[in-house]
Structure 1
Amino acid sequence: MDLKNNLYEILFGAIQEGLILVNDKGVIVELNKTGNFMFGYTGDELVGQKIEVLVPTSARGGHEQHRTNYNAHPTARSMGSALKLDGVRKDGSEFPVQVSLNPFENKNGQKYVVALVSDVTERRENEQNLLKLRESLEQKVKERTQELRESERLYKSIARNFPSGVISIFDSSFKYLFAEGQGLYELGIETSDLIGLDYLDRIDPRAKKQVKEELDEVFKGESKNFEVKVGERTYSINAVPLSDEGNEVDKILVVEKNITAQKEVSKKLEETLNKERELTEMKSRFVSMASHEFRTPLSTINSSASLIKKYHERESFDKIVKHADRIKNSVRNLTAILNDFLSFEKLEANKVNVNFDDCSLPQLLLESFDEMVDMTKPEQNIIYKGPKELIIPTDGQLLKNTMLNMLSNAVKYSRAKGEIIVSLEETPDNIVISIQDFGLGIPLADQKNLFTRFFRAGNVTNIEGTGLGLNIVLRYLDLLKGEISFKSKEGEGTIFFITLPKQN
């Protein structure tokens, strides 16, 4: 029995919770050292006092009623885990506690309750801190959710108003996860209708292969920026990979924009720039050519005029006629050069007016022959082969200018005592004027550039000319809805074919 009492005292004193023995009247019968220490008492100060002395003043009245009810139906139970209970120390300070109640009855029939009291101040603080943390997290989550919603609304608003294009997100099988942009609304497509559909099914068959190959590279982690042309439309596509938490690309973001209008503007700007470059180059070549072409006839005129004066003083009249002819030829060459420049300037400025009217082609050709008489070389003959009458609707002045240019070349690049044959033929739909000479001919390597501005074949650089004549002829014939072609062999001569429609 003594052993049991000793064991009881050891356990009673060693337990780390407050252990308080209360009788059925609520009087404290015994408590351990931990209980005393917990509530700030020493020795037997609490023995004989009501248990309510350890309850905060505000809760004592209610506690007595709870104790009476408990004694009527005593059971083992824990208090303070769900309810917040406080104890009061001797100095009046309060602290949170958890209480476990265990009723028992001794062999004499006396009823007691053992209260196991734990100081849960630290746990209560942790709970409060946890509650504050949870409230803080909930607030942050709420704020973050609001921010995300605002960001989503802002992003959708931006995407929805993306001009002339579409912003989309696709999964690895090219299914739509997101799509917005004015480009969809212009086509009358609701974005919700696209979710889950295959993006490639919407691509024009002409561009599908290119788009798929480019986007396959994006799924490999490479950003892409490329253009797709579909008929008359051009699209710019920018695509970037989107990675998951494992840094694996499982989605891509694609921005499509219709840049057809920008391309047109860019093309027009480039054409304008090219025209400016051509104009600058043309001016440079004109200055270079003019300084050369004008110098020779002007020098001839100057020297011949001086010689005429001397021959007149010596009465060498035969030589005066020779130099007078040289002056006339030089003036004629200058006039031809100036005419070429004036014609070219009008064509460049689109100032050439075209007036179609009935025109007798044989009469026009014979008039052109008469105007060439002073330019032909000695014993050079222009021969006409064709009908005496043939009338078509055309612009007679432009056609005569064309013929004068062609005849001038034939005369210039043919030998003296030679023939130039002009033929006129009629087909069911067209008429063909051919101009054949038996002169220098055109080198094969130069033939592809023959109608280029300022171009001159390599075998005629020592003969006066601007290099504009055939370019002017080509442009005149374009206004007349005609065409020009040629056959030539160097050293044997050239034949040009001018084709004009019989009806406009």
Structure 2
Amino acid sequence: MMKNDSLQILLIEDSLEDADLLQEFLENADQTSWKVTVVEKLTLALEQLHRHSFDVILSDLSLPDSHGLETITQLHTVAPTLPIVVLTSLRDEAIALEAVRQGAQDYLVKGQINTHALIRAIRHAIERSRMQQVMHQQSVAIAASSEGIAILDTQWNYVYVNEAYAKIYGYKDSSLLLQTNWKIHYDPIQQARLNAEIEQSLQQRRFWRGEAVGHKCNSQSFDQELSITLLPDGGTVCILRDISDRKRTEAAMQEALQQARELHRLKSQFITMVSHEFRTPLSVILVATESLKRYAHQWTPEKNQIRYNHIIGGVQRMTELLNDMLVMNRSGEHQTKFNPVPLNLEKFCQELIATLTTSEHPIIFESQGNNRQICLDPTVLQLILTHLLCNAIKYSMDGGRVMFVLIFAPEQVTFSIRDEGIGIPLEDQDKLFIPFYRGSNVGNLAGTGIGLAIVKQCVERCQGVINVTSQVNQGTLIIVTLPIALVEQIHDQDPGN
């Protein structure tokens, strides 16, 4: 380092004649300003190093208080980054070479020194020292980097691996990877792909970057990003990053995006369905009302009553649709209440069947087991059974029967509803309980796709289970099982419900 535009030199030399000659050589150099501090012993030199800053050291290896390589060792201990030029006699040249191997930047043989050689040695020593410091800093940075960095030879064997690289692959010590082949981390398919891509890219651009799936030392696979650069000697530098977290985040974002798209699609489908479902009964009401307005005075009471029934039916259909939407909204907001009360299930089911059965689709009811009063929420139970029975009727062919079996067991009650209708395609069965989703074979049959979603939520509210078995054109069997002991216990603990 330059101090006040002068190069600060510490000269350690016990021969006054040699010291004077060296200073004379420096004075003859016109291009640089020098300031030389001369000491005769190593101890005095160490004191100077503690007190002052210098740019270079010129040191004899044979001093009154130190001899040979010990001199270099002690100087490096006090000033590890300071460049050293060794001054030696011809007979000690071998020691001087060893001193260079141990950290000195250069050596000069006394009797062969001139101004040019001295200036050249000093400047080269300072420059090499600076380069060594930069290389050391780079080495420290590479070793401490959070990115995995490795150097490979022409055969793709590891010759250097930093700790981060070894850690990514699950090794506790980076030395365990040395001399092993880079390909051990990849299966044959990955190897073939990487070989083809990397070889072509290195030939064209001397660089390749891409992603791969590697295997850690415990065989666990992980996503990685690689950057490979070709070195002048034919080897390569490989920079490795574990991108498993990024890949998981990307996958989660893609899933969220897909869910958002699906939600948008379902909302659009729902709006279309609801519009259709409301438009049909509204049209019926409008036509019946217009007919009564114009012709009621001409028609018989029976014919007028038919139009009134159409109006009532349309209003009931819209009311049911609105109620279903309210149930869905409350379930989504976890507002659905569960108020179990003692019920005679046989009587409850028979009364419900009486309101739903038709001559075209008779509901055949059967009760098995010991009929007794059981605690269930009648509102929730009616939602479950009404939607299931209505679906069984709606999707049955003309004349198709609906079998409804009530089964009592000691700790649970089961409702089995079987129809002989159009059935559910296999590819639709895992989507039955998704709101607004309808089977691909329903055609023009009216519906919104929220009935089974409501049933599912109501069954889960009762802590029960629902199972569906179906074949296209052969019918559908739906079994709902509700626990008895649990609802009785809830009722006993909270009689206010």
Give me the TM-score of the superposition, normalised by structure 2. 0.58
The answer (yes or no) to whether the contact 1:437–1:495 under 8 Å persists in 2 is yes
The answer (yes or no) to whether the contact 2:346–2:371 under 8 Å persists in 1 is no
Say whether residues 1:482 and 2:468 are aligned partners: no
Query: Aligned in 2, Cα 1:178/1:461: closer, same or farther, shift over 3 Å?
Result: closer
Distance in 2, matches of 1:460 and 1:186, equals: 54
Distance in 2, matches of 1:293 and 1:422, equals: 28
Say whether residues 1:179 and 2:162 are aligned partners: yes
How big is the shift at 1:285?
1.3
The answer (yes or no) to whether the contact 1:356–1:395 under 8 Å persists in 2 is yes
Partner of 1:156: 143
Q: How does 1:430-441 map to 2 (within 5 A)?
A: 432-438=414-420, 440-441=421-422
The answer (yes or no) to whether the contact 2:360–2:398 under 8 Å persists in 1 is yes
Query: Aligned in 2, Cα 1:327/1:364: closer, same or farther, shift over 3 Å?
Result: farther
Say whether residues 1:405 and 2:387 are aligned partners: yes
Task: Give 1:382's match in structure 2, choosing from 356, 363, 370.
Answer: 363
The Cα offsets for residues 402-431 of structure 1, whole Å up to 9 and x where unpaired, read as 211011112334467764320123679875
Partner of 1:454: 436
Say whether residues 1:243 and 2:231 are aligned partners: yes
Distance in 1, matches of 2:336 and 2:221, equals: 36
2:242 partner letter = K
Query: Aligned in 2, Cα 1:495/1:214: closer, same or farther, shift over 3 Å?
Result: closer
The answer (yes or no) to whether the contact 1:169–1:253 under 8 Å persists in 2 is yes
Say whether residues 1:320 and 2:304 are aligned partners: yes
The Cα offsets for residues 414-471 of structure 1, whole Å up to 9 and x where unpaired, read as 4677643201236798754221234x42375875477154344566544332122234
The answer (yes or no) to whether the contact 2:149–2:237 under 8 Å persists in 1 is no
Say whether residues 1:142 and 2:124 are aligned partners: no
Say whether residues 1:285 and 2:269 are aligned partners: yes
Distance in 1, matches of 2:187 and 2:212, equals: 13
Distance in 2, matches of 1:218 and 1:310, equals: 82
Partner of 1:226: 212
Task: Give 1:297's match in structure 2, choosing from 281, 285, 304.
Answer: 281
Distance in 1, matches of 2:345 and 2:295, equals: 42
Query: Aligned in 2, Cα 1:379/1:321: closer, same or farther, shift over 3 Å?
Result: farther
Partner of 2:94: none
How big is the shift at 1:312?
4.3
Task: Give 1:465's match in structure 2, choosing from 434, 447, 472.
Answer: 447
Query: Aligned in 2, Cα 1:409/1:374: closer, same or farther, shift over 3 Å?
Result: same
1:257 partner letter = D
Distance in 1, matches of 2:211 and 2:259, equals: 31
Partner of 2:5: none
Say whether residues 1:307 and 2:281 are aligned partners: no
SS of the equivalent of 2:297 reads helix
Give me the TM-score of the superposition, normalised by structure 1. 0.58
Distance in 1, matches of 2:403 and 2:209, equals: 68
2:267 partner letter = K
The Cα offsets for residues 378-404 of structure 1, whole Å up to 9 and x where unpaired, read as 575433212352678876644432211
Query: Aligned in 2, Cα 1:350/1:318: closer, same or farther, shift over 3 Å?
Result: same
Distance in 1, matches of 2:121 and 2:161, equals: 34
Partner of 1:64: none
How big is the shift at 1:187?
7.9
Distance in 1, matches of 2:375 and 2:166, equals: 51
Task: Give 2:242's match in structure 1, choosing from 252, 257, 276.
Answer: 257
Distance in 2, matches of 1:176 and 1:333, equals: 79
Most deviating of 423-432 and 285-294: 423-432
Q: How does 1:417-436 map to 2 (within 5 A)?
A: 419-425=401-407, 432-436=414-418
SS of the equivalent of 1:283 reads helix
SS of the equivalent of 1:467 reads coil
Alignment root-mean-square deviation, CA: 4.5
Identity of aligned residues (%): 21
The Cα offsets for residues 332-351 of structure 1, whole Å up to 9 and x where unpaired, read as 2212222332333344x352
2:477 partner letter = I
Say whether residues 1:345 and 2:329 are aligned partners: yes
SS of the equivalent of 1:436 reads strand
The Cα offsets for residues 223-275 of structure 1, whole Å up to 9 and x where unpaired, read as 54224588998442414154342xx23x4424132533x44443443333233
Distance in 1, matches of 2:221 and 2:485, equals: 37
| Structure 1 gaps, min length 5 | 1-82, 85-125
Query: Aligned in 2, Cα 1:434/1:458: closer, same or farther, shift over 3 Å?
Result: same
2:290 partner letter = S
Distance in 1, matches of 2:135 and 2:442, equals: 79
The answer (yes or no) to whether the contact 2:150–2:158 under 8 Å persists in 1 is no
Query: Aligned in 2, Cα 1:152/1:446: closer, same or farther, shift over 3 Å?
Result: closer
The Cα offsets for residues 292-344 of structure 1, whole Å up to 9 and x where unpaired, read as 22111001112212333445434621112211211122122212222332333
2:264 partner letter = T
Partner of 1:330: 314
1:327 partner letter = I
1:154 partner letter = A
